[in-house]
Structure 1
Amino acid sequence: MAAGREHFSSRIGFVLAAAGAAVGLGNIWGFPTQAASNGGGAFLLVYLFMILVVAYPMLVVEMAIGRHGQANPIDSMRKLGRSPLSKTLGGSVGLIGLMVPCLVLAFYSIVGGWLVSFMLAAGADIVGMHEASLWLKGFSVERNLFGAAIFYLLTILIVQAGVKEGIEKWSTRLMPALFVLFGILFVYVMTLPGATQGLAHYLIPDFSKVMDRDLILAAMGQGFFSLTIGGCSMLIYGSYLSRKENLPKMALNVTLVDTAVAVIAGLVILPAMFAAMQQGVEIYDAKGELLSSSTLVFDVLPMLFEGLGAGGAFIALIFFVLMTIAALTSSISMLECPVSLMNERLGTKRSVASWFLGGLIALFSVVIVFNFGSMFGLVANIATQYFQPFAALLFCLYGGWVWKRSEKLQELRQGYDNIEDGIFWKIWPTYVKFVCPALVIAVIWMSFA
């Protein structure tokens, strides 16, 4: 264990922080959109199965690598090697993985800025500042820079405070707030005409669609990205986890909380979509496909809020506060990955590393904002369709093949005595060696198809 290395002070702190890292726009925006596009209840059923067979086993791999290495992603991956060559290759794998949160944060913070802007716009509407609200809702370089700057500021301030006083402290505040806001929205949305049809569409599966190839691949991909597999966040948070904790159990708790958020998001978003349809908002085309899957949060739902009269601004405020919280719990884990490297390798103070690296990535975001049409989609695709799945595959191969089975057992025994006698250990080592790589390759293939 690295001398003086910070660790999460409690189990609930770790679970909420790690779940917060996974919970983001993929859960609250991506999952309901995928469910709406792929048969509602049928997608939900297959998604839950894929979380169990794809995401959870790989989450244990990443967290175990992090706790074993007790370091940043590069040094943790190096520690798995047994020869100078395998250590060097391991460091390269860690570097590829480290590129993921840096690239994702560059475009994710722009979207986070949009959420901040819409949140402020709802507040402006409440107090009668309608011109300011229109500016905040409008798409402009100035608005995008303004929102992103606030989002980066919040992210940096939390990360610079450290693991216990920053990440853990705010995760234990923000995650419960997320569930409370979801509860308020669900109760309200279910009072709207049309909401019950949306709820039925979401919860009652059409079993004829369960074996649909496109639905299965979409559910697999969503489950994979939902827990940020290959994104380094779980690896770095695993490095802050005490060796007294039962790692498979902690990973399961993180999986359950993350999945709960996605499922609850569907309970709110899909009924809200059907309520919007009841008000005349077009959501599906003649073929039953979403008209605005990429702009659901910023086009469809705001139209619903506007149709609610005077109370719409308050509902919009709650919704965008919720979205901002979800985005923020993810962004702090992304920035933590390079900050930990700079802090450990160069001995740089956490505050200096946070502001320097946060500022550096923010400058890249500025370049994207000024070249939005050509760069935003490109950076997003490179990060999520190329780097993240490839990094996940490499993590899985290294964790399954390079990391000795006896060392894996020794790591998981800490906090889980006699793990080798249980069903988990009888399946997991072989599963992550053969099945998980095949499933990740399927996700990669899907992204290119």
Structure 2
Amino acid sequence: MQEDSRDRWSSHRGFILATIGSAVGLGSIWKFPYEVGRNGGGGFLLFYTLGLALVVLPLMLAELLIGRRSRADLPSGMASLAQSTGRNPRWGWVGVFAIATGFVILSYYAVIGCLTIAYAERAVLRGFAGIDPGAAVALFAAITGDPIAFAAYHAAFVSATASVVARGITGGIEAACRVLMPLLMLLMVALAVYASVVGDVGRAAEFMLVPRLESLTPRVALEALGLGFFSIGAGLGVMATYAAHAARDTPLGLVTVVTILGDTAISLLAGFAVMPLVFAQGLDPSAGASLMFLSLPVAFGGLPVGDLVGLTFFVALFAAALASAISLFELAVAPLVKYGRLTRGQACLILGVACWAAGLPSLLSFNLWSDARPLAPIIGFEASGIFDALDRVASDLMLPVSGFLLAVFGGRVLSRAVFAEELGWSTAAVGGIRLLLRWIAPSLIAMFLVLGILSA
């Protein structure tokens, strides 16, 4: 395609809202509060912030640079940029691996995304009044235990994602993010204010912000790095895919910083929307993934106007899930359109069906296949069902491998001149980013990868 025929972001603001939407996702609202709780609060946040600066920021910059410089999908862009610097064009296969990683994540991510629809529907039709821990477990079992109804919710979420992407960059993704991101921020602020009034905000603040010496361990540091990967999606190539549609004068450094700050702000708002209620209701702040769908309905049931609060929360969660799913979907649609010679609508239809089908094993692991442990003989996840095993394989193994390779590509294949031309930074600033990409980021990612393998 010629450059002037490509769909473009209509403005820098639209592009930034889309990158924030990609970064936020369920990781910032679903995973962030319980990871903070599970790993000791403030100490974890300290490591999380350090990981953002040393790994996520330079890696995201490299992705944005790859996309805008190449004006192509991720595999084609990496291949052409490698060739232009005298390197092997087979670097394009790293882009293929990143897309495969994104598709695996999308397959089970959509299963969690569809639960936000089910719980929002529950808030409207029956509410959460009077629900206790036993009733919360029964509610979750009722939603996930019916494979037909669960698959229908799953289809609805995938269809919503595909329908947005099918409308293109400006009319679909950008238009959706212009609505979803302000709505998400507004809802999270409202929830955080409400939780601060009716919940135990003092204990929540101490728990989340005050570092505790016992939590300052290498393992917690690597867990924090892993959350940064999952939350922002660095290493997947999503930012490169979005940047391929960005104007030449887009300030990539500003986009990177604003995206990371926006994601972090929403993550902290999510923590202050959740943790004060958890402490006020005497619930376990380190309850893990069940915190979102088992503990919070109990909290909502004991609050004034709890049904409205619950509805607001799950609508916000749906907005975050949809915005992030859209970016993962676009990551795979771009090469399908190019290599499959398909229209965007055809590519979205094919990918939507494939995503729904690929999500069925994860979906069925909550009901008919709850006892299945197919990966245990290979990677030793004896205690993990299909959903948990896929999450660990993608988040702890595939994603860091993809991130490692993209960091190496950015630091050792892309030249100093390319960075200088695209970023317009001083020699010292460019040298600092390339230092992080050449040595610091790959080393930290490799340590996280080893931890994932050892804990398998």
- TM-score w.r.t. length of structure 2: 0.88
- The aligned counterpart of 2:452 is 447
1:294 CA drift (Å): 2.0
- Please report how far the alpha carbon of residue 380 of structure 1 lies from its aligned counterpart in structure 2 after TM superposition: 2.1
Give, in whole Å, the separation in 2 of the partners of 1:104 and 1:378. Answer: 11
Q: 1:186 to 1:83 in 2, by over 3 A?
A: closer
Q: C-alpha root-mean-square deviation of aligned residues, in Å?
A: 2.4
Using a 3 Å threshold, how does the CA distance of structure 1 residues 160 and 257 change in structure 2: closer, same or farther? same
Residue range with higher mean Cα deviation, 223-232 or 76-85: 76-85
In the TM superposition, residue 187 of structure 1 has moved relative to its aligned partner by 1.7
273, 281, 284: which one pairs with 2:278?
Answer: 273
Structure 1 residue 319: Cα displacement = 0.7
SS in 1 for 2:159: helix
Give percent identity, aligned residues only: 28
Segments of structure 2 that go 5 or more residues without pairing to the other structure are 132-137, 373-385
- The residue aligned with 1:287 is none
Separation of aligned partners in 1, 2:216 and 2:166: 47
Q: How many residues align?
A: 429
**Residue 244 of structure 1 aligns with which residue?**
249
* Per-residue deviation, 1:81: 1.7
Structure 1 residue 431 displacement after superposition: 2.1
1:203 is matched with which residue: 202, 209, 224? 209
Q: Tell me how far apart the structure 2 counterparts of residues 263 and 84 of structure 1 sit (CA, whole Å).
A: 41
Farther-moved stretch of structure 1 (178-187 vs 85-94): 85-94
- Say whether 1:219 aligns with 2:221: no
How many Å apart are 1:367 and its aligned residue? 4.0
Match of 1:323 among 313, 317, 320: 317
Alignment match, 1:139: 145
TM-score by length of 1: 0.89
Q: 1:376 to 1:85 in 2, by over 3 A?
A: farther
CA distance in 1, matches of 2:40, 2:397: 27
- Report the residue type matching 1:383 in the other structure: A
CA 1:202–1:381 in 2, change beyond 3 Å: closer, same or farther?
A: closer
Map 1:166-315 → 2, pairs under 5 A: 166-206=172-212, 208-209=213-214, 211-277=216-282, 281=283, 283=284, 290=286, 292-308=287-303, 311-315=305-309
Deviation of the 1:258 alpha carbon: 1.2
Which residue, 134, 139, 155 being the options, matches 1:149? 155
Q: Which amino acid aligns with 2:303?
A: L
Maintained 8 Å contact 2:226/2:395: no
For 2:5 and 2:229, how far apart are their aligned partners in 1?
Answer: 33
The partner residue of 2:430 within 414, 420, 425 is: 425
Kindly tell me: are residues 216 and 369 of structure 1, through their superposed partners in 2, closer, same or farther at Cα, counting changes over 3 Å?
A: closer
CA deviations on 1:308-345 (whole Å, 9 max, x unpaired) are: 26x22111111100111110000000110111112123
Range with bigger deviation, 22-31 or 362-371: 362-371
1-structure distance, mates of 2:417, 2:158: 42
1:50 is displaced (CA, Å) by 2.0
Which residue of 1 is the match for residue 379 of structure 2? none
> How far is the alpha carbon of 1:158 from its aligned partner?
0.6
Hey, what's the Cα distance between the residues in 2 that align with 1:383 and 1:258?
A: 21
Residue identity matched to 1:401: R
Among 394, 418, 426, the residue aligned to 1:407: 418
Pair 1:85–1:140, CA change in 2 (3 A)? farther
Quote the offset at 1:408 in angstroms: 2.9
Moved more, 74-83 or 165-174: 74-83
What is the CA-CA distance between 1:220 and the residue it aligns to? Answer: 1.9
Moved more, 439-448 or 175-184: 439-448
For structure 1, which segment, 240-249 or 323-332, has the greater mean C-alpha deviation from structure 2 after superposition? 240-249
- The question of 1:380 aligning with 2:378 is answered no
**1:80 aligned partner:** 81
Displacement of 1:426 after TM fit?
3.1
1:112 touches 1:324 (CA, 8 Å); kept in 2? yes
Is contact 1:230–1:392 with CA below 8 Å preserved after alignment? yes
